[in-house]
Chain A
């Protein structure tokens, strides 16, 4: 009950933000941050539950975005079905890939995630007849999506609320999963996979399920991106986006399920401020990453949780 109350309060507080900030620029920034927060949550969840680093979650993000854009533009299927497929297809793909790649683990796994995502990037770039190369696709989205007017998804004020609600639902779902027996099992496998086998568990399938779930979250972010922007290019599949999501997760910290989302917000705020100061803003982001890694190894959320713990407040 406390968990539900916390997420309801956070959801309501976030939904009020557009009324507090009238600036379209700020609302655009917050909407982008919310979409990226969902992507970073997927990346961070993989680190938290599987202890694995993905350099290729942009592959699932971009796949979700491209499925929406291509389906809507070519009229392959109703938009509701396309939205569902855009999440389900990357999830199933991740489950199959995970069953093969997770046998390796560690750096080899990370490199394979990078290779797979870059393969999709190259495919989108070179298959011009389907994906229009680096010119991208202007998605011909229908006027109404899931009973809502298209403008709801394309105006930053309303889209921020949509993204915020989706983010809260994702975080709530993950917090429930972490507290479940399956959450304990996957954490145990991350801690000591051999011992998990010797107490009677198969370990590959739970690990692949976590990878697939993290891919589903990334694909969901990609769907929101396609709806919001109405335009996708191969950049949504590029490793740079995977890298940014990983930076957000590291800055925010992965021990708390909400850490990567906090990292995304900090990343966008820092990017905006640094972008106003210099065109070399990535150097400031890089410097921040180094400082956080050295001084706050648990990330921003870990430091907040530690502070709250010292104050006697229990955190999820």
Chain B
């Protein structure tokens, strides 16, 4: 039996009376790139938060990483165990240079591949600049670099292409696909750009109103009437 790269069982998160995530279970096989899609408010970012430890004790359910139960781990410990993430809103260190912050992230990881990541994400020319002084698109790449450095075993990407042009989005997506394959990283990616999702994902999970609506290969999921209804509206079904 193959050990799952990442498994979440019965994940639930409430905000007062509102259930943002309702007993969601998800399982990723090693090496797969899974797309997590759904309309706004479906619970995608909440699921990322619960998996990565950002939700803290306000969430319930069980999370395991390559068979290791990490449910009680805080965020820093999950990262050291090999579970990394990027954020929906750019989340970098504005006053540090690009090289300094990627180097800092590399020192916390077992594999110090800062130079490799800087090179792979085409950040070499910006290495000496403060993150606050570079463009939004470049900051997005720094955000991804912070998650990717140290070769995590599982990478959670929350809308990495948000705010980028169509060409930039596709380039970033293809780059991530290549790096994930080269470094054997399992990826769970939230993205609204369907071109990005269909170009790199081998499997899709659709969330709707805090529950899983569908699971499967992109072609099958795309054809499911309930997905079309939830995602595109009843007129599209």
Number of A-B contacts (CB under 8 A): 63
Cβ contacts under 8 Å, A198 to chain B: 52, 54, 75-76, 79, 84-85, 91, 146-147
CB closest residue in chain A, given B149:
A199
Stretch with Cβ within 8 A of B (4 or more), from A186-194, A214-222, A243-251, A271-279: A186-194
User: Measured between alpha carbons, how far is A195 from B103 in the docked complex, in Å?
Assistant: 14
B-contact bits for A188-215, CB 8 A (1 contact / 0 none): 1001101111111111000000000000
Q: Is the interface of A mostly helix, strand, loop or mixed?
A: helix
In the complex, whether A185 has a CB less than 8 A from a CB of chain B is yes
List A residues 158-205 near B (Cβ within 8 Å): 181, 184-185, 187-188, 191-192, 194-203
CB distance from B139 to the nearest CB of A (A): 12
Whether B91 contacts A195 by the Cβ 8 Å rule is: yes
Whether B146 contacts A195 by the Cβ 8 Å rule is: yes
Whether A184 contacts B76 by the Cβ 8 Å rule is: no
Cβ contacts under 8 Å, B95 to chain A: 187, 191
Whether B74 contacts A197 by the Cβ 8 Å rule is: yes
A-B contacts, 30 listed (Cβ < 8 Å): A184-B96, A184-B100, A184-B104, A185-B104, A187-B96, A188-B93, A188-B101, A188-B104, A191-B95, A191-B96, A194-B54, A194-B91, A195-B92, A195-B93, A196-B93, A197-B75, A197-B76, A198-B54, A198-B75, A198-B85, A198-B91, A198-B146, A199-B79, A199-B84, A199-B104, A199-B105, A200-B76, A200-B109, A201-B76, A203-B76
Interface residues of B (CB under 8 A from A): 52, 54, 74-76, 79-80, 84-85, 87, 91-96, 100-101, 103-105, 107-109, 146-147, 149-150
CB distance from B114 to the nearest CB of A (A): 12
**Interface bin, chain A:** 10 to 19
User: Measured between alpha carbons, how far is A198 from B53 in the docked complex, in Å?
Assistant: 9
Cβ contacts under 8 Å, A203 to chain B: 76
User: Measured between alpha carbons, how far is A187 from B130 in the docked complex, in Å?
Assistant: 13
CB closest residue in chain B, given A191:
B93
User: Measured between alpha carbons, how far is A194 from B93 in the docked complex, in Å?
Assistant: 10
User: Measured between alpha carbons, how far is A184 from B93 in the docked complex, in Å?
Assistant: 11
Q: A201 and B91 in contact (CB under 8 A), knowing A184-B96, A195-B146?
A: no
Cβ contacts under 8 Å, A202 to chain B: 76
Whether B105 contacts A200 by the Cβ 8 Å rule is: yes
User: Measured between alpha carbons, how far is A185 from B103 in the docked complex, in Å?
Assistant: 10
Cβ contacts under 8 Å, A187 to chain B: 93, 95-96
Whether B96 contacts A200 by the Cβ 8 Å rule is: no
CB distance from A212 to the nearest CB of B (A): 21
- 9 closest Cβ contacts across the A-B interface? A200-B108, A199-B105, A200-B79, A191-B93, A197-B75, A197-B76, A188-B93, A200-B80, A195-B91
User: Measured between alpha carbons, how far is A314 from B87 in the docked complex, in Å?
Assistant: 35
CB closest residue in chain A, given B132:
A191
Cβ contacts under 8 Å, B79 to chain A: 197-200
Cβ contacts under 8 Å, B146 to chain A: 195, 198-199
List A residues 123-168 near B (Cβ within 8 Å): none
CB distance from B90 to the nearest CB of A (A): 10
